[in-house]
Amino acid sequence: MKVRVLVRLKPGVLDPQGRAVHHALEGLGFAGVEDVRVGRLIELDVADDTDPAALTEMCEKLLANTVIENFTIETGEGGK
């Protein structure tokens, strides 16, 4: 089973990378970009009977740092 974990900085946590990318986009002449936040996509291939709770635990223990990041887990069709 394919699983996609999206890790994003929590709202309110400043994202220096996103800000630099934002500036670069403006430098390239793209107008109207309001904000840029850089996150991380982690694709896992796990056994079909993997317990969703185990996926959550993987995120909390390692894949995301919940001090600064939120995560969402997509499985099945969304996870493709």
Binding site for other proteins (CB under 8 A): 13-14, 16-17, 20, 61-63, 65, 67-68
Amino acid at 47: A
Question: Minimum Å distance from CB 6 to other proteins?
Answer: 14
Cβ distance to other proteins smaller for residue 47 or 61: 61
Residue 59: which of 8, 22, 1 has the closest Cα? Answer: 8
Dump strand ranges (E) for 10-80.
40-45, 69-74
Question: Minimum Å distance from CB 64 to other proteins?
Answer: 9
Cβ distance to other proteins smaller for residue 64 or 75: 64
DSSP 8-state secondary structure symbol assigned to residue 61: I
